[in-house]
Structure 1
Amino acid sequence: MTERTADPRDPRPLLGEPLALDLLNTRWAGVPVNDLFTAPDGHAIWLSSAGLAGRCAADEAGLDALREAREALAAAVRELDAGRLPGPGELAGLDAVLRHGRVRREASAAGPVDRVEMDEPHRLAAWLAVDDFLGLLAQGPRRIKKCAHEACILHFFDTSQNGRRRWCRMAVCGNRAKAARHYEKAKG
């Protein structure tokens, strides 16, 4: 896809996940829940971290499209979190985003090229995120996971060989869980 380097202004605790999960993770734990898209520059920061700043404008129409895609992804991922595949309602939400674009294949001297065509250019980032989600599903829906820490709401794509990764980041959520277990053992 696109070269990605996290924007240094990006405050999110988990960066670098596949585009679909990266969009989903624009909300993270807090009271109230943190939402990158409520920050004045949040949309531009996300586009920058996602490697899309040169292709997508950080405008209100694009932000609305991303919020729509994030809700469709969240609904589909809730089903995966519950051990089910997304049902007709969740698939309809994903399809509503995908309906605004398509991939056209072309021949070039360097080989085949896929070109994304959009009916409304401001929907490109949202379309790419949902298209990415379909690719993740094809690789294995069980690899799309919610962090096992009870206070964390982040999702990741488990690329471990055995598919047994549990934490979004072992250094944060994994260590918190270990510390809590240790504290309970020492207490009782």
Structure 2
Amino acid sequence: MQPEDGLPQRDAADPRPLVGEPLCLDLLNTRWAEDGVPRDLLDSTGGLAVWLRSAGLDGRAAADRATLDAALRTREVLLALVEGGPSPEAVGALNHVLERGALHYRFGSGGPESHPRTDDPAWLPSWLAAADYLRLVAESPGRVKACAHPNCVLHFHDTTKNGTRRWCSMAVCGNRAKAARHYERAKTER
């Protein structure tokens, strides 16, 4: 689908440094820092189109202003929950998003099927992200983590066996931390 701002987005690459996380964290990771500069993929409907495509939702939701507004609201709710914990305000806001839709079940030719439905199609990506957050919290609440690098705002689902992952990416943030420690050690040895 083409976003309402008219920019063709079919070939636009996803510029984010961390993709492929569960949907709720993938929505959170639409904002990041690049060389100390804050970036936001959801700063336009064109960026929304990139995220929808990256998340596999481009055939299910329009990259329009209503979907963008819903995604931005839901991202703020998820951020409040992940960073601040389940405050009454954040829980109420998440429940408001969840009230926008439901899973509907039926018996299909291949057996049981479930289909998400929302009261407004613009809320489908947001509802799916909110439902995904519930799934992660139910399955492994301590495994939803923020990157330990002080200049990184990304979040990830720690799937390591012992649950000790600290960085969104060892190749980027982990190496930065190692380099900083090495520099400090070298400086104090002089």
Would you say 1:10 and 2:9 are equivalent positions? Answer: no
Partner deviation per Cα, 1:15-35 (whole Å, 9 max, x = no partner): 110000000010102455211
CA distance in 2, matches of 1:122, 1:65: 7
Residue matched to 1:37: 42
Would you say 1:148 and 2:142 are equivalent positions? Answer: no
Q: Which runs of 5+ in 2 are unaligned?
A: 1-10
CA distance in 2, matches of 1:113, 1:91: 29
Partner deviation per Cα, 1:58-78 (whole Å, 9 max, x = no partner): 000000010011011011011
Residue matched to 1:64: 69
RMSD after superposition: 1.3
The offset of 1:109, in angstroms, is 2.4
TM score, norm. by length of structure 1? 0.90
Q: Which entry has the higher C-alpha Rg, 1 or 2?
A: 2
Aligned-partner residue type, residue 78 of structure 2: L
The offset of 1:105, in angstroms, is 1.1
TM score, norm. by length of structure 2? 0.89
Provide the identity percentage.
Answer: 54
Aligned-partner residue type, residue 158 of structure 1: D
Relative to its length, the structure with more strand (as a share) is 2
Point out the more displaced range, 110-119 or 14-23. 110-119
4+ runs deviating over 2 angstroms: none
Residue matched to 2:106: 106
The offset of 1:8, in angstroms, is 5.7
CA distance in 2, matches of 1:149, 1:65: 29
Point out the more displaced range, 101-110 or 156-165. 101-110
